[in-house]
Structure 1
Amino acid sequence: MKIITWNCNMAFRKKAATVFRLQPDVLVIPECEHPDKLMFINIDVQPTQILWFGANHHKGLAIIAFNNYKLKLLDVHNPAFKMIIPIRVTGNKRKFNLFAVWANNPQDKDGKYVEQVWKAVNHYDKYLKKTSTILAGDFNSNAIWDRKRRIGNHSTVVKRLEEKGIYSTYHQHHKQMQGKEEHPTFFLYKNKDKPYHLDYCFVSKDLLQKLRSVEIGDHTFWMQYSDHVPVIVRFDD
């Protein structure tokens, strides 16, 4: 199974073919336009299902399934947490809960980025289990920006997830420390000299045991499409 998250920086219809060639089973695409605007013409591989969330039809959060995987929004979804979306994914003898993440809610004066994830992690606590759980997307956060007096910073989110038996695939696979990542996922203004690691895929222990690889996209290639590069996570069947 292959999970890919990529903030496409809008206009996904013009970029979809490139990420589709990576043969994902499930895609998490922040800053994607509404499906009504998506036309996958002259693309050999077509999605089997698309879920989309957002108020702006030009810039929302899409979850896209391939290869007969099916997506269902969980009844417990709380739209107050924008955009952290709980989804049940089934297919090919797999079942897991996917929390698709685009940590971006300018209307929340208490914190519009990682604070959104912190609130959602606490709200969905009993659905974050040590088995069959994935959180993937653009968290808009890194330990380098931790504010010590704020409870819901990046490090406290990571710690809370680890207490639940859920770990960052990138950090586990590449043996990295939070805040000292060697492979950036975002480049401010697409500038190679302004790199940050903002995009993550966290998984429960059972999936971590099946983790095969975690690949971070190359800056030189992906900057023609977005200021983010994809995070590509593979699991053994």
Structure 2
Amino acid sequence: MCDTLDNMRIITWNCNMAYRKKADFILTHKPDILIVPECEHPDKLLFSVDTPKPTDVLWFGKNQNKGLAIFSYSDYRFKVLDDHNQDLKMIIPIAVTCGQFDFNLFAVWANNPADREGQYIEQVWKAIHYYDSLLASTKTVLVGDFNSNKIWDRQHREKTHSSVVQLLEDKGIFSTYHLYHKQAQGTEEHPTLYMYRHKDKPYHIDYCFVSADMVEKIKSVEIGDYDFWTKYSDHVPVIVTFNDE
């Protein structure tokens, strides 16, 4: 039986490298789809016998120890879309299929040092324009480490975090966290990054945006706890659960 929206959980967690040593902790939350920035190449993923194994994996990057991984721990299967623009590194358009419920997923790790015009939120801004027609379709998810927050708008000219949020909202695509927790951009109560793992350096930079036809299916949006997760990474997970109730 293929998974459906009424029991789908998407998690993004920047694992700060060495996912193979940390997988058990995130997998206790039973993701159907898991996006892991800073993950090693699949050839290096030597899990223990008791660790659940992914049913599908995509990985992108040049550094074998630190790329972007997309895992399925369910019936969902992945295929990179044909119009993938490889210049927009670490923003990957993926067709997610399983026979009954299909959608487009953009896995995001906004980090491209080779782009002189901007390596962080500028990458997402460019992707929104390049994939304009794809983003107009139904059932769309953009999820991952955006390395961005409204508080840094002044550093990015017109390609700001706020402009990205507005562009997505104009397309009917919204941040699950901000809707569910009734938060405003730039004043989030729940950080997703603790710089250098310091509790006094909190930032909200990891997101899951979904199209309007998925918004009404959001059951919960959870942000990981500092005390537990900073033993393993400077990021905490964003956990989004959907159902039809």
TM-score with structure 1 length normalisation? 0.97
AA matched with 2:25: T
The answer to whether the 8 Å contact 1:190/1:227 transfers is: yes
The answer to whether the 8 Å contact 2:122/2:156 transfers is: no
Q: Which whole-Å CA distance do the structure 1 matches of 2:98 and 2:150 have between them?
A: 35
Q: Deviation at 1:43? A: 2.8
Q: Deviation at 1:44? A: 4.5
Q: Which whole-Å CA distance do the structure 2 matches of 1:81 and 1:130 have between them?
A: 20
Q: Deviation at 1:91? A: 2.1
Q: Deviations over 1:30-67 (max 9, x none)?
A: 00000000012223422101100001101000000011
Structure 1 residue aligned with 2:4: none
Between the aligned residues of both structures, percent identity stands at: 62
Q: Deviation at 1:94? A: 1.3
Structure 2 residue aligned with 1:5: 12
Structure 2 residue aligned with 1:100: 107
Structure 2 residue aligned with 1:45: 52
Given the superposition, is the C-alpha separation of residues 151 and 161 from structure 1 closer, same or farther in structure 2, using an over 3 Å criterion? same
Q: Which whole-Å CA distance do the structure 2 matches of 1:181 and 1:86 have between them?
A: 27
Task: Say yes or no: does 1:22 pair with 2:29.
Answer: yes
Structure 1 residue aligned with 2:78: 71
Q: Which whole-Å CA distance do the structure 1 matches of 2:25 and 2:242 have between them?
A: 21
Task: Say yes or no: does 1:195 pair with 2:202.
Answer: yes
Structure 2 residue aligned with 1:141: 148
AA matched with 1:62: A
Runs of 4+ with deviation above 3 angstroms: none
Q: Which whole-Å CA distance do the structure 2 matches of 1:129 and 1:178 have between them?
A: 23
Q: Deviations over 1:160-185 (max 9, x none)?
A: 00000000000000000000000000
Structure 1 residue aligned with 2:135: 128
Q: Deviations over 1:167-224 (max 9, x none)?
A: 0000000000000000000000100010000000000011111000000000000001
Q: Which whole-Å CA distance do the structure 2 matches of 1:130 and 1:172 have between them?
A: 21
Number of residue pairs matched? 237
The answer to whether the 8 Å contact 1:213/1:235 transfers is: yes
Task: Say yes or no: does 1:223 pair with 2:224.
Answer: no
Given the superposition, is the C-alpha separation of residues 149 and 197 from structure 1 closer, same or farther in structure 2, using an over 3 Å criterion? closer
Q: Which whole-Å CA distance do the structure 1 matches of 2:43 and 2:156 have between them?
A: 43
Q: Deviations over 1:70-124 (max 9, x none)?
A: 0111001011001100001112721100000000001111111000000011100
Q: Which whole-Å CA distance do the structure 2 matches of 1:142 and 1:170 have between them?
A: 13
The answer to whether the 8 Å contact 2:23/2:51 transfers is: no
SS at 2:168 equivalent: helix
Unaligned runs of 5+ in 2: 1-7
Unaligned runs of 5+ in 1: none
Given the superposition, is the C-alpha separation of residues 43 and 149 from structure 1 closer, same or farther in structure 2, using an over 3 Å criterion? closer
- For the aligned residue pairs, the C-alpha RMSD in angstroms reads 1.2
TM-score with structure 2 length normalisation? 0.94
AA matched with 1:12: Y
SS at 2:128 equivalent: helix
The answer to whether the 8 Å contact 2:106/2:143 transfers is: yes
- Give the counterpart of 1:113 among 112, 120, 126: 120
